[in-house]
Structure 1
């Protein structure tokens, strides 16, 4: 149990420090890292260390613990900030890193985040979050973290070989009461290795093993569709594919327009999802264009199944029990179903046939 607790803390730190490689880069052919001479750390701009590579799957191989291996994607990148998604096989964590006044600051670290939503401008951001890296990028630069750990740039222009290539890196050491973490960063690539050292010679390493370019984030999602033959809602598994900066509502909109096997589609071809988000009250809010009703062309029973299918799909995806469904900002109203302001659709599985 002690080692497990330590590793969860390590992965929180490592995931937070996954910052450094491609969202700000405009190079068509960024350095591959195969030649250490390509990447002189001292000559690179500080912003290069928040230049995470879009549409790339970062694969890290670990030693010393089952959670030391993980993958990272860039959900969103907006110039001075990047949102990263880390999956270590046990959980998915989302972080927002911001470049501000010569510092790269982790302003959000949110665990158990299996849904995809742009949090780069969220009210949850903490502008005084944890400083991950700061100027000048010279040996000896030191700062103190909120929990009193000391973080120091302990080496620059250091040559490091990994399965993904050879790099010239900056070494950053974080000293705790009974532990130390050494992280190695290459510009326009990011974190290429982390080493955790604890008591009793306990050591865990995570090393960048490969960069899988042009690889989207793929999520397997349970979707619900009405079946007019048996009057029940059936489930199926769909794959949602996201590139960096893809908008989640648009991906769901495209999926809802598809006809599942032996089932009807959820929205008409001309219907748009105007907004979709998880609110601070723990509910999902989804707003459709008014033609949702006209293009539905359904009787009362089938309409209710369609609405329940939408609520179940979005509710399960975001992990909530209530969905606020509106038509261009107004409560849903069709003649068959009349919702009042502040009324929500409940996620309900009573009339559901699970996919065998």
Structure 2
């Protein structure tokens, strides 16, 4: 009889310890558990109920507690910056038409949206800046997606005429989002996770055809991975040998120091090392073609019509060309594709 009592006491003790451990894990769960910043990872979501409900997500830049995501909805590509701070997951900005690789600098961090808030337990509630109510409505909720089944944290947002429910799974992030308004139901569901993946972009590179005194372009696939510097990537790409019959635009010694994009003024500023000019060894016509080729490459890629060049911080100046304060080069409209 004593042995039975001892066994029962041990069993009760083990159950109690297990229960306490599970509760402790729930209480101690952090936002980074349910919304990890995934390096070099491509997330694909299927859509239901709307042609733009599906999407592809990639973390372009990750710096400590802040990350910049690329969200391709099929209709546009968004750049979204999120941050984990003070027990909150905040979306600091979301910009449309972001088809290039460039790190955003968020100047005003007061206009943000809180996506998640600790403690990550059912009942945690907060009010968004526009007055909507958002709260954690469930824990360990079972959800099914094309990618698999998950136990997720359920977060509900109540609007005036709609309700949105988002589900976050540990070590992955958002796995399902459901929007309901009347009889309308739109869903975004995790479909695939690809690790060690790069973002591939087709870029037009322009080169002088000196014999014809004109500029031609080629299309080349360029890969970007999380935290890749656009300066380093374009330095390597522009150092490559030009196609047969065309002239190279940058020497192997030339480096791109900085690329600064101003979306509002539609201008991109590119600072090269001095070797761009000292290694060029070109007359007026060829120099003009090289400069214009670079202008067209950066202008087309960043979707602007104005490009400013500098050499180690000083405005571009040679014996043939000179930029003064407020000056810039203009992207040409006519384009000729190179045929080998």
What TM-score, normalized to structure 1?
0.84
**Contact 1:139–1:155, Cα closer than 8 Å, also in 2:** yes
Runs of 4+ in 1 over 4 A off after TM superposition: 40-43
Q: 5+ residue gaps in structure 1?
A: 1-36
1:333 matched to 2:317: yes
Counterpart residue number, 1:15: none
**Contact 1:143–1:152, Cα closer than 8 Å, also in 2:** yes
The whole-number CA distance in structure 2 between the counterparts of 1:266 and 1:96 is 34
Counterpart residue number, 1:354: 337
**Contact 1:50–1:99, Cα closer than 8 Å, also in 2:** no
The whole-number CA distance in structure 2 between the counterparts of 1:150 and 1:275 is 43
- What's the CA shift for 1:355? 5.0
- What's the CA shift for 1:163? 2.4
Q: 193, 199, 204: which one pairs with 2:176? A: 193
How many pairs are equivalent? 314
- What's the CA shift for 1:110? 0.6
Q: 180, 185, 192: which one pairs with 1:210? A: 192
SS at match of 2:58: strand
Deviations 1:124-144 (A, max 9, x none): x43341111101111111111
- What's the CA shift for 1:317? 1.2
The whole-number CA distance in structure 2 between the counterparts of 1:80 and 1:53 is 12
Q: 60, 71, 93: which one pairs with 1:75? A: 60
The whole-number CA distance in structure 2 between the counterparts of 1:171 and 1:70 is 20
CA RMSD, Structure 1 to Structure 2 (Å): 1.7
The whole-number CA distance in structure 1 between the counterparts of 2:238 and 2:258 is 14
What TM-score, normalized to structure 2?
0.88
Deviations 1:99-118 (A, max 9, x none): 11111111111111112211
The whole-number CA distance in structure 2 between the counterparts of 1:260 and 1:65 is 45
| Larger Rg, first or second structure (1 or 2) | 2
**Contact 1:41–1:157, Cα closer than 8 Å, also in 2:** no
Q: 311, 314, 322: which one pairs with 2:298? A: 314
1:88 matched to 2:73: yes
1:238 matched to 2:220: yes
**Contact 2:249–2:290, Cα closer than 8 Å, also in 1:** yes
Counterpart residue number, 1:249: 231
